[in-house]
Structure formats: C-alpha cells, structure tokens
Structure 1
Amino acid sequence: MSLPRTARRFRGSAIGTLVVLLAAVLSACGSGGASTSDGAATLKWATSAFPAHWDPVVSGSGAQFRALALAYASLTRTDEQGKAVPDLAESWNYNDAGDVVTFHLRAGLKFSDGQPVDGTAVKAAVERAKTQKNSALFGDLTSIKSVTASGPDVVVVLTQPDHQIPQLLGERVLQIASPKAAQDPGKLDQNPVGAGPFIVSQLVPGTKAVFKKNPDYWDAKNIHIDSVELTSAPDASTVVSGLRTGVYNFADIRPSQADEAKKAGLDVFVQPGFNASNISINVNKPPFTNDKVVDAVRYAVNRQEFVDKLTFGYGTGTDQPFPEGYIAYDPQSKNRYPYDPAKSRQLLADAGYRPGDIKLDLVIPAAQPDAEIVQSQLAAVGITVDIKVNKNWATPFFAKDLTFSLYGTTGRDSALQTLTAHFGPDGPLNLSTPYEPAGFEDAVAKVRRTPLDAPDYQQNLQAATRAGLQSKALVFTYSAPNLFAKSSSISALAKNPAHLDWTGVTINGH
C-alpha cells in the first residue's frame, strides 16, 4: 500500500501519527482476523462449491451441503467418530422389530421465519424430499414407508428393519426447511429458511451469501461467530493470496496449494472423510460384457500413480469406496486386483483382443488430470482411450447411457448408503444398473437389521462391502481428505468426518 503524496510532506510528530494510522490500515487489510470495528467475529469463507441451489431437496448431498448447513439444521449431526448425535432431535428410539424409529424433537424450536420446528415440519420435509419433482434425495429415502407427527415427536415407519436411519437423516440428506417457505420451492431455492446456526441476510445467486447469527438456534450459546460472508471462489489459483491478504479467512484448497498456504502462515485443516474416486464401467455395453476385459482394466490400474500425482502426500490408494481404516473398509478384500500390466495384457489376449483393438470414449464433465492417468495406464496394456469432455455429462451418466467414465464420491454418513449407491441395482453411482453382484442384497439386509452399537455391526458391514466389491462396475483408485486453509485467528475445528462444525469456534478469541 502506497501513501498519498501529501502524506510525504509531514514531518516530526506527524510521522508518528501517520505510522499509527498506516499500521491500523494494514491490519484491517491483511491480518486475516475478521473482527469488525464493533468487535463482531466474521467468517469470510471462499468456496469452490458455492451452492447453485439453496433448497436442500434440490441441492442434494454433494459437497455444497456444508454451505447449506449454515442455514439449515437436521434431526441428527455427525460427531468426530462419525456417529449420529442429537441435533434438532434430542433423542430417538426403535421398536423391537427395528422397522419403526421415533425421533423426539427439542422443545420450543423455531425456523428463522418464526414457524415452529415440530413433527409436522419434519414430516413435510421427508415427504417433500421423496416426492418433489426435482428432488435429488428421493433415492436416499426409499426405505421410509411413511411418517406421522404428534407434537414434538416424529414416527418414521420403514419398509424393512433399518438401524441406519439416524445416520441417514443428518445434514447431508435431511436438512429441514420451513414448511411455509417450502410452499414456494422456487423462492426457497434462492432464499433459504431453516433452523440452523445462521440466517441469510443477503444472497447474490452463484456469487455471495451473507449470514448473521441465529439467536433462536438451539445451541446458539456455543456459536461464537456473529456473521458469515460466503463467496464463490473466483479462481482456485487466487485463493491462497486472498487468504494471505485477508480478503478471506477460510477456504477450501487443493492438495497442490497446501504447501503454499503453510508458507504463507496459514493453518491447513485436514478434514477426515470418506472420499473415494473410481473408474465407472457399464457391463451392459461392449467390450465390458466380457468379464476378462473388466479384469484387464482392474489389473492395469496403478493406484500409487494417482496418489503421487494428484494428492501431494495427502491421499492414499484405495480399492474400495472408503479409505483404509474406515469402519466399512474390508481388510479381506484388500489388494484383490494388484497392479499387474502383464496379466492385464494376457487377459485381453485371452478375450481375443490384440493391442489397439479396443477403443473407448472416456466421458467426463471437465478436463481433469486423473482422466489422463487412466488414458496412459490403459494405453500401456493396449487399450486406446479417447477423453471426451461433456459439461452435460451428468445426464447420460445417471441415465446409465455411458460405457466408461470417472466418478469421485464424498461418501455418506451412513456407510451402508455408500455401498448401496455404488453397488445396488438402483444405485445412482452404479453405471451398470440394474446389475448387482450376487449376495449383495442379503448382506445389505443383514446390516440394516443390526443396531449400530451391536458387537457384530462392523463385521456385518465389512461383509456387505466384500459382497459389493464382487461388482464388475467399479474400479476404485484413490482417496484424499478435504483440505481447508484458514487464518490463525480462527480457532481449531472439530475433525468431524466430511462435516464442518462451527460449534465453539472463535475468531480472534471472540
């Protein structure tokens, strides 16, 4: 920052005054501490996942749910162990059969429009998520048969025993909007009305949202942030410089930016999660109707190359839809298809293909380096891959019209939901629908019948993973955590898997 020319004329005691003034200006411009002149604590968050939709039913459960959680609360939330804990619901209980669960809401709760948060509101939220035409959540709620409300209680009747429901109905899948506001879904989509820790005061679609603290939030006493300025990150390459100068004090970053952020004196928050990337295969289309071709792709994959080139030391290879060490990761299935390009070439030869015979279009939504790695690794075994970028990729992918693609999932709070999404006959991430591996349905049903605190829960869950991994529709490659950079003025965040929890977080000690 340069001084105006007139300032240079000051001498003597005026210089001291100028130095003090300049120090104050520099502090305001670049400290990264976001306290305003009145002492209010402001979170200035730049995100690459700025929501296109603020109606949680439409937005779905992708990465943008973290931003929507500023305005919305859910029946449950996730703790540092990844378990469901109370949020709007202070407790819940199952019947003996495990096919009915009753949630008991906290008393006296209100949405930001003054409407009560009661059983009727929760019932409306579930039914809207199941039936609204543009809902992205209906597939997550298929095990819910009906919902009845009685004052602060919500009774959820299931189509089968399912002890996963408290995990499922958290802030990824059931962020609850005011039923009054939801009567006009289009308006709600650009003006969120929930019962979360913050209330939106300004929203510029696709660009910026400003929030103020919600005094009626059930845990308001432990929310120490007064306001939030959420901004769509204009360019990932400029985020660290924006953090350094105090334009932002919190942002999601890429692994390639972590060292730069640390050198700039920023804290890098490594958020644990369930992220996993995969190669998606459609076994209903040639050449993948031949099992030997599928296996050839499996053996052609060098997971360590993905880790080395894409994660900058923050990721790990994985051959499952979870990182190793997660409760649902199955040790018995580890490394079933190790990197073996010679075996891959032999399988292709056994299937009757010469090098260069197989030509595949790899359809993806945008240019991405993992596509080039796949292209290179398959070329090494004689498969030619042509990368096709289609910004409307989601339409043919979810319609199961593609033959070959890539996908990266942020996982789910319910590990079983992650499995059914990938391997189930109607799973949105199963490019080979309605195909599913033999024995998977039975293994899933057994997990549903098992309470989460039962001694055999992990054993049954890993058995379901093992059954799912018989699928020929997916080849998993690597897992990487979510990374955020923040000013040191922001206190430590809880390491809740995949979630940002602002409870107890302070800015500049406020």
Structure 2
Amino acid sequence: MNRFTLPTHRRTRPMRARLGAATLALATAATLAACGGNGGGGGAGSASADGTLTIAFDADAAPTGYDPLLYSARQFEFFASLYDALFVTQTDGSVEPSLVTEFTSNPENTQTTLTLREGVTFTDGSPLDAELVKANLDRRSDAHLEAYSSFGAGQASEIVDVTAQDPQTVVITWASPQASPDVLLADTAGVIVGPEAVADPTSLETTPDGSGAYVLDEDATTRASTYTVVKNEDAWAADDWAWDTIEYNVITDPQALANAVVSGQADIATQLDPTTIDLVQSRQSTVDVGGTIVGFPVIDKLGSSNPAFGNEAARQALLYATDRESLVADLHDGSRPTSQFFPEDAPGFDPALDEEFGYDPDRARELLAEAGYPDGFEVDYTVLGQPDEDAIAIQSQWAEVGITLNFVTATSTDQVFAAVRTDPVIFGPFSVGSSPAGFVAGVLYGGFMNMQGATEPDIESSLGAALGATGDAQEQALTDLNRAITEHAWFIPVYEDVTYAGYNAGSVSEPAFAGTNNFLVLSAIQPAA
C-alpha cells in the first residue's frame, strides 16, 4: 500500500520542526506542554490488558475546542471517535457512506440527493435527520470553519442550497458540476455535529456533541495533555470499534514521542519525526505513507507586497532555481524530490513535470531577465526563532541565480500568522492526499493560499473539469490541473514527504492510513492476535 518503505537502518540528518505560517495554522499546539516518555524496552502495551487503546499524538488534538469543522482532515484521526461523517475514507483509499446509506446525482452532477441512516442519535438523545444535516451545511458561510473552505460562496465546490426534502432525505445543489460529492463530503468535511452545537457553536469549545462510538470522559481529560474517550454502547456504530476506551496523549517533543511507543507507554505513536525512525524500528514496528508535499505556496500572486511575484516568469524562476535532488539527498533520505503539487500515488500525477521543471539555474536566469529582474530580486520569509535547514539550503540555492531569501525573525506567533498575508511565500508540509482536486479547491485556489483572490483561467477551467467529470475525462482534467499549477508557479514544490506511525505489534494489529491521506483509520485497528 505504501510507496515509501525504508530499510531498518536508514540515516537522516536532524530535521527541525517547520514553522511556516501554514504549519502553525494546522497545528497551533506546537507550543503546548508535552508528555514525557522513557526509553525502556518494548512492552505489551495496555490494549490487551484492559481494552484501552493508547495513542500518542505529536500535537494537541483539539487546540481550539471540539468543533471538528475548525480543523483540517488530519484531525479526523481524533474526531472520528466522537463524531460520524456523511462519508468516510477507508484504508484502501475508497470513500464509503457512513451517516448516508445511499446517494444519487442528477445527470448534470449539479444536485446530490442523500438518504440518511436511521437510528442515529446524538449525545443529547436527538436523532439524525435531514434538518440537522441542512443546519450543519448551512454553517458553510463561516470563514473560520476550515473543513468547509471549499463550500463557501465563490469557491470551486460551492454549495448554493441545501434542502431537507423529508426527514431522511437531503438535497444538495452545487454551483458547478461535482462528479464526486462523496469525496467532498468525506471525513472532517462531512462531520455532522448535534443540534445543541448547531444552535450554539460556542458550546463546542468545551463539550463535544456527536453521534460517534465514543463520548468524552471529562474527568480523565486534561486539555492539551490527555484526551480520554469511552465506548457508548448505544451508538449505532459501536460494534465497529474494538476498544472500550481510547486515550490520546499529546507529546510534542519528537524524541519523547518515539520513546512513548518504544517503551510501551503508547500502543501507537503518529506523525513520528524521521530522525527517530531507526529507534522505533529497533524495538517496535512502523507504517508509512506518502502524499504530503513540502514546498512554498505563492501567496502574493498579484505582486501586492512584492512586485516580482506578480510576474509569472519570476515565479517560474523559483521552480528552476531549486535543487531538490541535493536537498533531499542531504536532509531527507527516503523522501522524493518533486516539481509538482500532486503526490506520486494521486490521479493526475505526471512524471514528465519533474523532468520539465527540474533544477536548471540557467533557465532560472533567463526567466529572471525576461521578467525584468536580470540581477534577481529579494524575498522576505518570516521565521519563528532560527530558520530550519531546508530554508537555509534553499536560501543558498536561490542565491546562485540572484534571488535573495531574507529571513525575518518574528517575535511572536501572532507575527508568524500575520505573515500569511504579508509574505510573498510561506513554507511547510501540506497533506494533499489522494484527492488533490479537493485540496486545490478548498485550500490552494479557494482557501488561505489564495486570500488575495487571484485568478488563473487554466487552473480554474481544469479544476472545474476535474470536479465535474468522471473516468478518463477526470483523469485528463486532473493531469491538466497539475500542469497548470506548475506552469503558472502557484506552488513551488520541493519534496514529497513521508508520514510515519509506530506501533506495538504485541498489543495492536498493524494500523493503516486512510489511503494516501496522512491520518490513520482508527476504527480498523484491532487488538493483536
């Protein structure tokens, strides 16, 4: 299943945490307290002993509360235990109905009819019905809801109307054809919160309101440290989960996170730092998946803060000035150098792009001259503390063609967040996953990577075709979309990264990621035989 399988004795240079503004936006708890772990021998873990699955996370699972719609898909690994979604991604990457039993689309793919599952209740005893689903989706106008970023007005997957046709039937009308509505409504984006939470979303800051197989044990939960959920035997999907209790521990220190699974303190540790994989593999087992693209989203495509970035040739020069092969060889053994936004296992991936837009400093200089910057230009990039090794390496590479990367030291995390609007580029890992068109619609074209509202006809037309077509036509549209993003230099890719999870094979079965998404399907994890 996984493209990247590393040998047991691999070596990488130490890698500091990437603190680009986008990274902070997706994991605001990087500064919260960590739970320690020691480096003792591997133990049997807690799973077989008392029906408790213990998972160590690298960041706070709920830094701003229990509204799952505030977060990206990555957080579904946690919220799937408390909430159900209309559709969910399986371990093979397929999307299956969950709160929905069946769905149909009209011939134009502009209207989707959902039939809801009966017998689903929320923590307050209220049943799932069409009015509740409508009330949830009608929250799409709230710009703070990350999960709904592609559904808002003017976005690529805009929902223009939601109708409760009868108690178990919901009709969704889209502004443009959507051939894969199940994918759009899967996982975090498809989560349905209960009626009390819809009426007062602020209640979710402290109290979950879901229909999931588990409920929060508030007495055993300490925010930013430990979250404990216990099985709700009356939940409709309770039998699909093996564990009586799941305990999520927040361990932000990479070494302590690895120690937790090595010592048996945790049955599973997710988002392991690559520098700790040798240690974990020496005592326990690991799984990994690709699909995370690390690079520079171009924020200032209009040249508002830096005029050079309003010139497409100048942006393209950054593509050719980046020596991805040497950076990966020096710093990220096991990752894949890439010149494109789509992961290798995603539909629309085009190996020709990696050759066509590979490292070529002479071509970079030609483009700079064509753009009117024969001596190059300067780029300000905000960092919190010291720049990481990736940024330093790229600074040196760009300097060879005359592009000066200046590190602007932030004095607070607020300043780093503000840089999303002022810096011409930001840098970080982005879990594009197996459905890149949805990521483009919700983040790169219609989300925080394009807050200026820049337009590009080639990207817009191919995105619309990718969302509205199926089969060979969709495959071609995705390939065209991937090329358009690269050719117009809306994103400067550097490498495709690997997400690692470690697990104690003595206590749990091998966990699996949700296809090429970088979160595990917890409902599929069983006690070890």
TM-score of the superposed pair, with normalisation by structure 2: 0.82
**Are residue 490 (structure 1) and residue 496 (structure 2) matched?**
no
Which of 231-240 and 435-444 deviates more? Answer: 435-444
- The question of whether the paired residues in 1 share the 8 Å contact of 2:227 and 2:247 is answered with yes
- Which of 259, 263, 283 aligns to 1:245? It is 263
- The question of whether the paired residues in 2 share the 8 Å contact of 1:293 and 1:348 is answered with yes
Cα distance, 1:32 vs. partner? 4.0
Q: Closer, same or farther in 2 for the Cα pair 1:47/1:112, shift >3 Å?
A: farther
Number of residue pairs matched?
471
Distance 1:449 1:349 in 2: 39
Give the match's secondary structure for 2:190: coil
- The question of whether the paired residues in 2 share the 8 Å contact of 1:443 and 1:464 is answered with yes
- The question of whether the paired residues in 1 share the 8 Å contact of 2:47 and 2:508 is answered with no
For each residue in 1:118-172, what CA deviation from the matched residue of structure 2 results, as whole angstroms up to 9, or x when unmatched? 22221121112x1346333443213111112221222111122212321011113
Q: Closer, same or farther in 2 for the Cα pair 1:295/1:132, shift >3 Å?
A: closer
Distance 2:327 2:128 in 1: 46
Amino acid at match of 1:384: T
Backbone CA RMSD of aligned residues: 2.6
1:193 aligned residue: 209
**Are residue 402 (structure 1) and residue 419 (structure 2) matched?**
no
Q: Closer, same or farther in 2 for the Cα pair 1:377/1:421, shift >3 Å?
A: farther
1:17 aligned residue: none
Distance 1:32 1:45 in 2: 16
Q: Closer, same or farther in 2 for the Cα pair 1:162/1:422, shift >3 Å?
A: same
- Which of 134, 137, 142 aligns to 2:144? It is 134
Distance 2:438 2:415 in 1: 23
Cα distance, 1:365 vs. partner? 5.4
Q: Closer, same or farther in 2 for the Cα pair 1:348/1:101, shift >3 Å?
A: closer
Which of 359-368 and 193-202 deviates more? Answer: 359-368
- The question of whether the paired residues in 2 share the 8 Å contact of 1:112 and 1:214 is answered with no
Distance 2:341 2:431 in 1: 10
Q: Percent identity?
A: 23
**Are residue 158 (structure 1) and residue 174 (structure 2) matched?**
yes
For each residue in 1:299-351, what CA deviation from the matched residue of structure 2 results, as whole angstroms up to 9, or x when unmatched? 111112342344331x2122222222321313453432221223324444565
For each residue in 1:260-316, what CA deviation from the matched residue of structure 2 results, as whole angstroms up to 9, or x when unmatched? 1101x21111134x3112223323132223444323221111112342344331x21
- Which of 176, 184, 199 aligns to 2:200? It is 184
- The question of whether the paired residues in 2 share the 8 Å contact of 1:32 and 1:248 is answered with no
**Are residue 52 (structure 1) and residue 63 (structure 2) matched?**
yes
- The question of whether the paired residues in 2 share the 8 Å contact of 1:115 and 1:180 is answered with no
- The question of whether the paired residues in 2 share the 8 Å contact of 1:256 and 1:311 is answered with no
- The question of whether the paired residues in 2 share the 8 Å contact of 1:178 and 1:193 is answered with yes
- Which of 161, 165, 170 aligns to 1:146? It is 161
Q: Closer, same or farther in 2 for the Cα pair 1:267/1:102, shift >3 Å?
A: same
- The question of whether the paired residues in 1 share the 8 Å contact of 2:212 and 2:237 is answered with no
Give the match's secondary structure for 2:161: strand
1:9 aligned residue: none
2:473 aligned residue: 456
Q: Which has the higher contact order (CA 8 A, sep 6+)?
A: 2
Q: Closer, same or farther in 2 for the Cα pair 1:474/1:76, shift >3 Å?
A: same
Amino acid at match of 2:234: D
- The question of whether the paired residues in 2 share the 8 Å contact of 1:73 and 1:88 is answered with yes
Distance 2:279 2:265 in 1: 17
For each residue in 1:205-250, what CA deviation from the matched residue of structure 2 results, as whole angstroms up to 9, or x when unmatched? 2221101123233332231112111111141121222222222221
- Which of 112, 119, 129 aligns to 2:130? It is 119
Distance 2:224 2:242 in 1: 27
Q: Closer, same or farther in 2 for the Cα pair 1:319/1:197, shift >3 Å?
A: farther
Cα distance, 1:36 vs. partner? 7.1
Amino acid at match of 1:205: R
Q: Closer, same or farther in 2 for the Cα pair 1:474/1:505, shift >3 Å?
A: closer
Give the match's secondary structure for 1:162: coil
Amino acid at match of 1:402: D
Distance 2:407 2:73 in 1: 25
Cα distance, 1:383 vs. partner? 2.3
Give the match's secondary structure for 1:260: helix
- The question of whether the paired residues in 2 share the 8 Å contact of 1:33 and 1:507 is answered with no
- Which of 278, 288, 291 aligns to 1:270? It is 288
Give the match's secondary structure for 1:261: helix
- Which of 471, 490, 506 aligns to 2:488? It is 471
**Are residue 337 (structure 1) and residue 337 (structure 2) matched?**
no
**Are residue 415 (structure 1) and residue 436 (structure 2) matched?**
yes
**Are residue 40 (structure 1) and residue 27 (structure 2) matched?**
no
Distance 2:332 2:67 in 1: 30
1:4 aligned residue: none
Give the match's secondary structure for 1:481: strand
Q: Closer, same or farther in 2 for the Cα pair 1:296/1:450, shift >3 Å?
A: closer
Distance 1:262 1:29 in 2: 12
Distance 2:356 2:450 in 1: 20
Q: Closer, same or farther in 2 for the Cα pair 1:161/1:296, shift >3 Å?
A: closer
Q: Closer, same or farther in 2 for the Cα pair 1:430/1:389, shift >3 Å?
A: farther
5+ residue gaps, structure 1: 1-27
Q: Closer, same or farther in 2 for the Cα pair 1:365/1:457, shift >3 Å?
A: farther
1:371 aligned residue: 391
- Which of 435, 443, 446 aligns to 2:454? It is 435
- The question of whether the paired residues in 2 share the 8 Å contact of 1:199 and 1:214 is answered with yes
Amino acid at match of 1:153: T
**Are residue 100 (structure 1) and residue 111 (structure 2) matched?**
yes
Q: Closer, same or farther in 2 for the Cα pair 1:458/1:221, shift >3 Å?
A: same
For each residue in 1:358-389, what CA deviation from the matched residue of structure 2 results, as whole angstroms up to 9, or x when unmatched? 33211245643322222121123232222224
TM-score of the superposed pair, with normalisation by structure 1: 0.84
Give the match's secondary structure for 1:503: helix
Which of 159-168 and 28-37 deviates more? Answer: 28-37
Give the match's secondary structure for 2:262: helix
Larger radius of gyration: 1
2:224 aligned residue: 206
Give the match's secondary structure for 2:177: coil
